Amino acid sequence: MALITEHLSDIGVLRLSRWCFNTYLIAGDGGRLVVVDAGIPRITTDLDELLPSLPGRIAGVTATHGHADHVGGASWLADRHGVPVHLPAATMAYFDGATPRTPSVRQLART
């Protein structure tokens, strides 16, 4: 599973991909980068290797949802770079040992 990087410079996004797992770095003002979906453990190593070549620093971490392949590296990155993790309270509880709950088909049909 080689790392694939795709620069979408016109919208300020760098996509990192290993197999079917994607992580995104979104460029903000002042060289700040937000990491989105830093889930698989290897992505933290990938980011450490890439950061010196990027014009910015990590300012925060977030995820599209709370599955392990989206949030697995979030706390490590936040600790390493001294930045906040921005997730809903229910998802943040996973880091404290709460069991992730996936809605049933019936629950999804009601929304």
What is the pTM (predicted TM-score) of this model? 0.83
pLDDT at 18: 87
Looking at residue 17, its pLDDT comes to 92
Provide the residue range defining the domain that includes 30: 4-110
Specify whether the CB–CB gap between 51 and 19 falls below 8 A.
Answer: no
> In total, how many domains does the chain have?
1
CATH label of the domain that carries residue 27? 3.60.15.10
Q: For 31-56, how does the pLDDT look when each residue is reduced to its tens digit (9 = 90+)?
A: 899 999 988 778 888 888 998 998 88
pLDDT of residue 24 exceeding 80:
yes
In angstroms, what CA-CA distances link 72 with 22, 23, 28, 50, 51? 13, 11, 23, 19, 19
Would you tell me how many other CB atoms lie within 10 Å of the CB of residue 96?
A: 6
Residue 100 has pLDDT above 70, yes or no: no
